[in-house]
Every structure is written in C-alpha cells, then in structure tokens.
Amino acid sequence: MGEDRKLLTWRRTWADTPNDGLGIHPDWPDLKARVYRQPGGSRWLWFVNEIAFIGRGIEDSNDAAKSAAEDAAAAWMERR
C-alpha cells in the first residue's frame, strides 16, 4: 500500500519501545497489526490478527513491515 492509501493508524505499542508499533483500523476495532524489531535484530517482524490469525512475515524495514501488514489486512477485509 502506498503512503496515500494507509489502511491502519499506527502508533507505538509501548511508550518506551520505539521499535514496536501497533496498527488499528477505525471501523474494525478487533483488527490489530503489530510490527517490531527484536533487540539486537536487523529485520522487522509483523503480524495481523482479528478474532483469528490473518497473516505474518519478516521484512527488512519498518516501512516494508507496515506495508505488508496493511496488505494482509486489506486482503482479509476484501474477503469479509
């Protein structure tokens, strides 16, 4: 998804953890996405859940992980 088509609103998961983000959708309160980099790690992990598992993966950057999470969320929403 391009910058102009953001599906989720992103914020830090915890105030003291800059490499950990949470994405939420305003109309789907149970849909949550998370992107994070483990301490000492170089790659970004992402996953998306609603009531059930939607998708997960590993990317080289924070932006790529957010984009992959948004793509997974969008694909799930289209199937609903």
Given a cut of 50, whether residue 2 has pLDDT beyond it is no
pTM, two decimals, is 0.88
Cβ-based neighbour number of residue 14 at 10 Å:
9
What is the tens place of the pLDDT at every residue in 32-63? Answer: 999 999 889 999 999 999 999 999 999 999 99
Mean pLDDT of the chain: 92
pLDDT in tens, 3-30: 455 899 999 999 999 999 999 999 998 9
**Per-residue pLDDT at 3:** 47
Sign (positive or negative) of CA dihedral 76, 77, 79, 80? positive
